[in-house]
């Protein structure tokens, strides 16, 4: 990323979330400034995924508001759709399509058609897998392909749900490096994980479900 | 806009790949039609009379085969989240997906229709093809509503058929009517074809709105 992504600050104020109609958490105040990496911690069921989906705009909060502040993107104020990229539990790669074709599709989807992704593949140890159908990749390889989408998207705010799940330790370390580099260039990342993340200057945000002791 | 084009072209590409469903639907359409031919017997003129209803019903059934997967396939591998997260106007995403279904699943049916129509002794080929061309987009569009309502459910296929089947009735009624009228020499301004076009245009407006609302509800 030569010039770095646009500098966007994401702020959640008093956000409450529900899963399947049941309230899970409330009163979440969280701010993610450019250059920041925040690790979202909490027990199973504390609402980490629910919060990430709400921040990504995939679900509405039951209370509170989410704001994206920063320079206009393509002439409009930034929104979750234009400023953030969400990596869920599933990688979203199409099994019958090759790794290269999946990357090319994402590049076009995020309006970055023609962006070279040899560098992205190299950083995520995918260089030799370009022609392989995504369905034939191992779980860890698929996860790396999923994360490649965040790099391809060019979005400043990364919302990552268990990004290192099923990865071996060199891959997980590389993911930490990539997140670090993204933040160093002015991007930001919110990472829900149970694994230790070796991020310099990371900040942890603890979540507790309603009724659980924090 | 380029995002929608990329979704459309990806869906069409997947439909025409091995196991993508485009060929399966066309083979199924052919099989249904051949069974009707066998069942009707060799009486002269009998087949030509029921040709349009057979082809319309066959096309409808064949398009139902792949409708439940329009959003479900993306939901299961996580790409629906990606598409919805990226798209600010979900209505246009529904439109792109429905149009891709039409190209990837319904257009192959129209391509083999002349062959099947010849087998059914149809003489007025153009009115039949015109009725299918004008009416079949409504199948993909109305079907997209059913697909958007049911994608989180397992065995959604049967449910889509039950939910959406009755809504296909006007399409079949006006479609076969337009084919019959055309065979009698009616022009392109005849009422059944116009009404069929109205159904397609109506679903062009309603399907994106209803489909987007259903996706938002299901992802909540």
CA-to-CA distance for A202 and B191, rounded, in angstroms? Answer: 69
Instruction: Please judge whether A109 and B17 are an interchain contact, meaning their C-beta atoms are less than 8 angstroms apart.
Output: no
Residue A104 backbone phi and psi in degrees, to 5: -65, -40
Domain count, chain A: 1
| Contacts A58 to B, Cβ<8 Å | 81, 84-85, 219
Interface ipTM: 0.90
Site of tokens 């370390």 = A173
Q: What's the Cα-to-Cα distance from B25 to each of A175, B133, B169, B175, rounded to whole Å?
A: 43, 17, 20, 20
Helix (H, G, I), strand (E, B), or coil: what is residue A159? Answer: strand
Instruction: Please compute the mean of the pLDDT values over residues A55-73 and round it to a whole number.
Output: 92
Q: Where are the alpha helices (DSSP H) in B68-155?
A: 69-77, 79-86, 90-101, 107-119, 125-150
CA-to-CA distance for A75 and A54, rounded, in angstroms? Answer: 24
Instruction: Please judge whether A92 and B88 are an interchain contact, meaning their C-beta atoms are less than 8 angstroms apart.
Output: no
Tell me how close the Cα of B180 comes to any Cα of chain A, in angstroms: 42
DSSP E strand stretches across chain A: 9-19, 22-32, 37-41, 63-69, 84-87, 157-161, 188-192, 203-206
Q: What CATH number is associated with residue A107? A: 3.40.50.300
Q: Look at residue A20 in the predicted model and tell me its pLDDT.
A: 82
| Contacts A96 to B, Cβ<8 Å | 14, 17-20
pLDDT digits (tens, 9 = 90+) for B139-181: 999 999 999 999 999 888 899 999 999 999 999 999 999 999 8
Domain count, chain B: 1
Residue B142 backbone phi and psi in degrees, to 5: -65, -40
pLDDT digits (tens, 9 = 90+) for A87-114: 999 999 999 999 999 999 999 999 887 7
Residue A59 resides in a domain: yes
pLDDT digits (tens, 9 = 90+) for B21-34: 889 999 999 999 99
| Contacts B87 to A, Cβ<8 Å | 81
Q: What is the mean pLDDT of chain A?
A: 89
pLDDT at A136 over 90: yes
Residue B70's domain comprises 2-219
Residue A136's domain comprises 9-196
| Contacts A97 to B, Cβ<8 Å | 10, 13-14
Residue B41 backbone phi and psi in degrees, to 5: 85, 180
| Contacts B14 to A, Cβ<8 Å | 94, 96-97
Indicate the residue of A86, A93, A105 with minimum beta-carbon distance to B85: A86
| C-beta separation of B129 from B113 below 8 A | yes
Instruction: Please judge whether A92 and B220 are an interchain contact, meaning their C-beta atoms are less than 8 angstroms apart.
Output: no
Tell me how close the Cα of B101 comes to any Cα of chain A, in angstroms: 17
């Amino acid at each position: 990323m030569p010039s770095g992504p646009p500098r966007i600050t994401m702020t959640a104020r008093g956000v409450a979330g529900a899963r399947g109609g049941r309230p899970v958490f409330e009163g979440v105040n969280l701010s993610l400034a450019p250059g920041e990496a925040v690790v979202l911690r909490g027990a199973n069921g504390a609402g980490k995924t629910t919060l990430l989906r709400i921040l990504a705009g995939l679900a509405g909060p039951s209370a509170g508001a989410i704001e994206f502040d920063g320079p206009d993107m393509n002439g409009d104020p930034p929104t979750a759709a234009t400023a953030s990229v969400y990596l869920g539990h599933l990688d979203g790669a199409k099994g019958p399509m090759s790794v290269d074709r999946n990357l090319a599709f994402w590049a076009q989807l995020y309006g970055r058609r023609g962006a070279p992704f040899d560098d992205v593949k190299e950083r995520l140890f995918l260089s030799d897998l370009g022609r392989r159908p995504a369905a034939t990749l191992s779980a860890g390889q698929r996860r790396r392909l999923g994360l490649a989408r965040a790099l391809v998207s060019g979005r400043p705010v990364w919302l990552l749900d268990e990004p290192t799940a099923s990865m071996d330790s060199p891959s997980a370390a590389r993911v930490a490096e990539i997140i670090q580099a993204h933040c160093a260039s002015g991007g930001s990342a919110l990472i829900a994980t149970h694994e230790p993340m070796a991020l310099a200057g990371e900040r942890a945000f603890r979540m507790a479900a309603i009724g659980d002791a924090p | 806009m380029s995002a929608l084009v990329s979704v459309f072209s990806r869906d069409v590409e997947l439909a025409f790949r091995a196991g993508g469903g485009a060929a399966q639907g066309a083979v199924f359409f052919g099989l249904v039609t051949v069974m009707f031919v066998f069942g009707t017997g060799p009486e002269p003129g009998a087949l030509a009379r029921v040709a349009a209803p057979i082809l319309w019903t066959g096309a409808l059934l064949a398009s139902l085969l792949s409708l439940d997967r329009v959003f479900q396939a993306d939901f299961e591998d996580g790409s629906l989240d990606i598409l919805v997260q990226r798209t600010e106007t979900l209505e246009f995403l529904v439109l792109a997906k429905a149009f891709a279904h039409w190209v990837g699943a319904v257009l192959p049916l129209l391509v083999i229709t002349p062959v099947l129509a010849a087998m059914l002794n149809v003489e007025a080929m153009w009115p039949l093809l015109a009725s299918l061309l004008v009416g079949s987009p409504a199948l993909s569009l109305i079907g997209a509503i059913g697909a958007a309502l049911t994608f989180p459910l397992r065995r959604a296929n049967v449910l889509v058929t039950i939910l959406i089947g009755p809504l296909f009735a006007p399409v079949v009624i006006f479609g076969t009517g337009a084919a019959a009228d055309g065979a009698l020499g009616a022009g392109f301004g005849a009422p059944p074809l116009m009404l069929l076009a109205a159904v397609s245009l109506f679903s062009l407006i309603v399907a994106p709105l209803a489909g987007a609302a259903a996706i938002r509800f299901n992802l909540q």
